């Protein structure tokens, strides 16, 4: 799995000119699923997201989690996180999971987020989505299951 986590002041995702998910302060998580990924990886990532301390406390120290600040989460499927641009100028996506596997893990990830974090907004898998956000910081973190 590959995740790009952006701390945001607000964010929304639109499909066919309709806002289908929006949040205030929290995280936008772009989620890519790779061929070797599994539910156990999703569990680890969701637990880590809940405990990740990247919000400022009263002393302006990065010390608070999304739960501590009552933040929200917006998850957007993003197979292009598996773009391979090493050869030529057109990216290849052979490392991305098949559609069936990716949908299953994306849905599993969303359910685990709901269980651990409560309400979760999200995009529509495979749709042409427009994501609007105001990055807070900017503060962006990239996680790759190859590094875990």
Closest CA to 145 of 7, 28, 43: 43
**Cβ-based neighbours of 97, under 8 Å, separated by 6 or more:** 33, 34, 35, 37, 79, 105
Is 78 catalytic? The answer is yes
Closest CA to 125 of 110, 104, 109, 103: 103
Peptide bond into 88 cis (omega under 30): no
Is 140 catalytic? The answer is no
Active-site entry in 79, 109, 121, 139: 79
30 neighbors 4 (Cβ within 8 angstroms): yes
Active-site entry in 6, 24, 55, 78: 78
Active-site entry in 24, 80, 93, 115: 80
Q: Which residues are the active-site residues?
A: 78-80
């Amino acid at each position: 799995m590959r995740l790009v986590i952006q701390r945001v002041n607000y964010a929304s995702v639109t499909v066919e000119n309709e806002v289908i998910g929006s949040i205030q302060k929290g995280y936008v998580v772009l989620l890519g699923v790779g061929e070797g990924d599994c539910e156990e990886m999703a569990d680890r990532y969701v637990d880590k997201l809940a405990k990740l301390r990247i919000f400022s406390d009263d002393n302006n120290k990065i010390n608070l989690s999304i739960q501590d600040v009552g933040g929200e989460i917006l998850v957007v499927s993003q197979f292009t996180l598996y773009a391979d641009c090493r050869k030529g100028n057109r990216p290849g996506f052979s490392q991305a999971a098949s559609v069936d596997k990716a949908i299953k893990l994306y849905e599993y990830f969303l359910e685990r987020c709901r269980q651990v974090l409560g309400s979760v907004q999200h995009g529509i898998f495979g749709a042409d989505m427009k994501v609007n956000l105001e990055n807070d910081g900017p503060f962006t973190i990239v996680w790759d299951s190859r590094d875990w």
